[in-house]
Chains A and B, each alone.
Chain A
Amino acid sequence: MAITLSASDLPSPPLSARLSPPQVWGIVLLAPYILVFLAFVIYPIGYGLWLARQPASYVALFNDPIFARAAVNTLIFLLIGINIKMMIALFLSGFFVEQRRWIKWLSVIFILPWAVPSIPTILSVRFMLNPEWGMVNQIIFKLTGDDGPNWLNDPAVALSMAIGVHIWKSLPFWTLILITGRLAISHDLFEAAAVDGATWWQKFRYITWPSMQTLYITCTLLSMIWTLGDFNSVYLLTGGGPADLTHVLSTLGIRYLRLDQLSLAMASIVCAMPFVLPLVYFMMKRLSR
């Protein structure tokens, strides 16, 4: 080490002399994470990219109708599902900042979907939608005397239900964040607007939205990235069925993995990257300020 350093153009003292004891400790304390990062992030990603190197995988992937369907489903999930979720969250954040004792209690209950693990609740919904024995169709039968639809057997309905489950699970989290955003707005602004006789919509349009739009857009983008990794909502509700028509990219990758088509699994993930990386870049810019 010392030899290479002294051979360089700018002679510098040996490493141990350049570093103060706190810096040595700094390196020692950072080492565990760096090891974790190298062993379980860098190596897997590198290995995955190496597996996905052959153009033949991409040809096979694009010839697989399930992939095209999964890509479309993912887009529907993200563009429609997330926007609906965030709009409801924005609306509900306005509801939950109202000062009422019962709304305080309701907000405690409202957090439950976020606090409980998703597996049992998704399975609960799955059984509720069972065509013969599920609660929903039993009620439909009692009310109308007709058999209800076979909910999870129609791809469009099944995907909507998966989106519904996703919204059920993560709505409380985003509402909570938007509530903190709303509470940060100065109350004087609203009082002044009330004196001027502003309507509900004008208050929202000229006070609430301008102060919250950055937060709202950040939340939407972050939610989109995370939802790309939402495996449970689809897998546990529909299992990708009927006939593999409700897969999204995260469940498709696992499906290929189970079929031992690892290069296809990696190729499908690589195909999502042009969409993911700009979002990731944008979020990192925002968070590392």
Chain B
Amino acid sequence: MKLPGLSEFSWRDAGNEARLLLIGIPVFIWTMVPIYHMFLFAISPKEDAFSGKMWPDHPTLHNFEIVFRQQHYFLRDFYIQFWNSVVIAAAVGALTLFVATAAAFSISRLRVPGGRVVMNLALFTYFIPAAFLAVPMYRTMGTYGLLNNHWSLILAMVTIASPYAIWVLKQASDKLPVELDEAAVMDGATTLQIFRLVYLPLMMPSLVAIGTYAVLLAWNEYLYAFLLLSKDTEITLPVALGNFLAADDSPWELLMTTGFIYALPPAAVYYVFRRYMVGGLTAGAVKS
């Protein structure tokens, strides 16, 4: 004996749930297909990878072994390229944090004359599509004699990352109460002491978010890396991945394996810092 009202209610619930699943399942498949395909290639021997199977007959880690031992023509500089990516990402993260924190402190807390103009110029740069700036940037780096030098990519990425970094940090520091600075001045603190002892600790969450943003931006960058660096021992991993396409008979299973290894660190970083990223970045990305 069931109450009619109750069973009616659960029917409607089931219908609702089914409708949600009808959206959720395609979303899941759509999201996972390219990533699963990459993973599938990474664990497949060559003949399985090219046969269109959904799961290899003999899953293997052999591809990873080839990559880590650099046992292929395309992979002979794998470790150097990986290291290049690490160094460049770390340098871009550190330099962007330095440039942007200093600028945001100066504009927001010290109210330096002309700060607003600089902020607007920075925002303007943020909205210029990066691919458009790439063409003149390439020539500029040539003029400065920096082509094929890691500094060219580092400086280019700092240029691209700073505007957004300054903007987010300025928004965050505008929220800190003025009384803090005033109290510190009363106690006889110098400007640098305020910066180091009051400002930086309070800004930590935003600094973590911005540092992560800059590191990921540099690690993921393809276009600038591919334009500015060309020697096999100078390039970063994404450029090396793109170079696989140069041959007609590319070893796709090795390309996907390398790609998989390359994609893991940023995905891990993203999920570890997700808390900061969601709070610090998406909220600031678009103000309604």
Contact = CB atoms under 8 A, between A and B. Distances in A.
Interface stretch (A22-30, A150-158, A191-199, A202-210): A22-30
Interface in A26-69: 26-27, 29-30, 32-34, 36-37, 39-41, 43-45, 47-48, 51
A172 B266 CA distance: 16
Contacts of B123: 283-284, 287-288
Interface in B35-94: 35, 37-38, 41, 50-52
Interface string B110-132: 11110100111111110111111
Interface string B16-30: 000010011001101
Contacts of B215: none
A231 B131 contact: yes
Interface stretch (B1-9, B99-107, B172-180, B203-211): B99-107
B131, B139, B244 — most chain A CB neighbours (10 Å): B131
A172 B285 CA distance: 14
Main secondary structure of the interface of A (DSSP, over half): helix
B118 A34 contact: yes
A30 B100 CA distance: 9
Nearest to A236: B242
A139 B52 contact: yes
B192 A119 contact: no
B130 A117 contact: no
B202 interface: no
A111 interface: yes
Contact of A225 (B31, B127, B262): B127
Nearest to A37: B121
B118 A33 contact: yes
A95 B99 contact: no
B132 A272 contact: yes
A117 B118 contact: no
Contact of A37 (B125, B132, B195): B125
B102 A110 contact: no
Contact of A124 (B100, B259, B278, B285): B259
Nearest to B261: A120
A135 interface: yes
A286 interface: yes
Chain A's interface size range is: 35 or more
B122 A37 contact: yes
B191 A21 contact: yes
A124 B41 contact: yes
Contacts of B190: 21
A103 B20 contact: yes
B133 A117 contact: no
A181 interface: yes
A254 B27 contact: no
Contacts of A243: none
Contacts of A125: 34, 37
Given A36-B159, A121-B263, A124-B256, A47 B136 contact: yes
A102 interface: yes
A190 B283 CA distance: 23
Contact of A257 (B135, B156, B258, B283): B135
A239 B241 CA distance: 14
B138 interface: yes
Interface residues of B, number: 95
A226 B119 CA distance: 19
Interface in A127-160: 127-128, 133-135, 137-139, 141-142
A27 B106 contact: yes
B137 A106 contact: no
A125 B32 CA distance: 11
Interface in A250-279: 250-251, 253-254, 256-257, 262, 265-266, 269, 272, 276, 279
A98 B19 CA distance: 12
A45 B136 contact: yes
B105 A29 contact: yes
Contacts of B223: 231-232, 235, 254
B252 A284 contact: no
Given A124-B256, A176-B278, A229 B288 contact: no
B110 A25 contact: yes
A222 B288 CA distance: 12
Contacts of A283: 123, 127
B285 A119 contact: no
A278 to B, nearest CB: 11
A177 interface: yes
18 contacts: A25-B110, A26-B113, A37-B122, A47-B136, A100-B20, A109-B31, A110-B31, A111-B274, A112-B267, A114-B270, A119-B220, A120-B38, A123-B256, A124-B34, A124-B37, A226-B129, A229-B131, A284-B124
Interface of A: 21-23, 25-27, 29-30, 32-34, 36-37, 39-41, 43-45, 47-48, 51, 92, 95, 98, 100, 102-103, 106, 108-125, 127-128, 133-135, 137-139, 141-142, 168, 172-173, 176-177, 180-181, 184, 212, 214-215, 218-219, 222, 225-226, 228-232, 235-236, 239, 249-251, 253-254, 256-257, 262, 265-266, 269, 272, 276, 279-280, 283-284, 286-289
Given A109-B32, A123-B241, A228-B132, 4 more contacts: A36-B158, A47-B143, A120-B255, A231-B223
